[in-house]
Amino acid sequence: MNEILKKESLSPAVKLMVLNCPFIAEKAQAGQFFILRANELAERIPLTIADYDREQGTITAIFQEMGASTKILGQMEVGDSILDVVGPLGVPSEIEKFDAPVIVVGGGVGIAPIYPVARALKEAGNEVIAVIGARNRELIFWEDKLRAVTDELVICTDDGSYGQKGFVTNAVVDLHTKHGKIACLWAIGPMPMMRAMTNVTRPLGIKTIVSMNPLMMDGTGMCGACRVQVGNETKFACVDGPEFDGHLVDFDLALKRLSIYKNEEKRAIAHMEHQGGGCGCH
């Protein structure tokens, strides 16, 4: 169980892993996530479910090696087994048939979790437009998979090395002008990108759903580490989300909370490198 069946490098720091997790695959839905712990030395990592195959009993994880625990995970290979995998967690995306086109926006690693949302929206009979963006062409992935489940795909790169030059927010404004009405928009990616997107869609009157990725520990609503301010209420991303109305999210507070453990993360990476960087999984 939890065996790594496939591993692929999507870019120098971004890895894809297909895991044998039949119980999670059986229940997984778009918008949900799972928590894994690579081994006894690693911390628990929440990852949005990028894809799932009920027949094969697999789930797909895509992650960026940033902290010590993701670096440990990135060192594991096909045939290794993840120590703990728990899920599916969180509330699934609210999928319905809309009366106008819908847009899914993925920034950076956020390209991965918009795929199951786009697929579910398309299966519900919607006209689906995908907008994906990254710093450069090297960081763009899953273009073919998204084309297969959408009616239109717009690619943006900050440096103009692929697709159109500029940010995903510019592309959304252009699409709104082109189509006249956008029923709903999902944005998944770095918090600054999601905040920028909500600032753009608010005056355009586009309902905007964001998938929050705050600090998280147990994933069951017990610890309160993943709390986010949504309107006048405190919500827990693990049990109330991870998707929320982006126009109600206090992104300033969320970004402050996200930076709380930056120094500890640096020390953890330094300690791992001092110990030789081994994952201890073989």
Q: How far apart are CA 251 and CA 238, in angstroms?
A: 17
Please tell me whether 223 is known to bind a ligand. yes
Residue 281 assigned as binding residue = no
Instruction: Confirm or deny that 64 is annotated as ligand binding.
Output: yes
- Is residue 129 a known part of a binding site? no
Is 140 within any annotated ligand binding site? no
Annotated binding site for FAD: 62-64
Annotated binding site: 62-64, 223, 226, 238
Annotated binding site for [2Fe-2S] cluster: 223, 226, 238
